[in-house]
Amino acid sequence: MIVFCPSCGHRNPIGVKFCSSCGASLANVAANTTAAFIPEDPSTEIAADDLLREMGEVPAGTGVLIEKSGPDAGTKHYLTTAVVTVGRHPESDVFLDDVTVSRRHAEFFSSENRFKVRDVGSLNGTYVNRERIEEVALETGDEVQIGKFKLLFVAARVR
C-alpha cells in the first residue's frame, strides 16, 4: 500500500510521517486519499552521471555539493571549512531559499577523513539516498535532500 504526497505527488509507503521527496507532512493523509497533481518536469533535474562526468577532479580534502534541481541547478557549493551550514537563513553558508527548508537545517563537516551530514533539528528532515537521517557519513554520488532541493555529494578521490 502507498500514500501519495498531497504537495508533490510522490509515492510513499504507509506509516511514514513525511514525504521522502519534498518533506511535506503526511500525518493527515489517509491511505485511500485521491490526489491530483502535476508532476515535476524531469527535465529540470540534472542526472547524477552527467554532473559527475562534468565535475572533473576535486581538490584533496574537499567535498562538493551540486544542486541537481531547482532554479540554480548545476550550482556547486564547496565544503572547505570545518563546518558548512545549510538553511534558509541568509547567513547560512549554503542558502536554500524555499519554505521547505528550515532556517538552520543541516551541517556538513569532516570527521575521521570523511565528510558527514547532520540534521540540526529541521522540521522536514534531511535525507540521504531517500532515507531520513540524523547524521551519516557521505560517499561520492550520494543524493542529499534538504527540503525540495536535491544535492549530489562529490568528494576528492583518496589516492
Q: Would you give per-residue pLDDT tens digits along the chain (159 residues)?
A: 677 777 777 777 777 888 877 788 887 765 444 443 334 454 456 555 554 555 555 556 788 999 987 778 889 999 989 999 999 999 999 999 999 999 999 999 998 889 999 999 999 999 999 999 999 999 999 999 999 999 999 987 544
Residue 47 has what pLDDT?
A: 59
Residue 71 has what pLDDT?
A: 76
Per-residue CA distances from 120 to 20, 51, 87, 91, 128 (Å):
18, 27, 10, 16, 14
Residue 48 has what pLDDT?
A: 53
What SS3 class is residue 52?
helix
CA-to-CA distance for 6 and 4, rounded, in angstroms? Answer: 6
C-alpha cell at 159: 589516492
Closest CA to 105 of 5, 16, 23, 37: 23
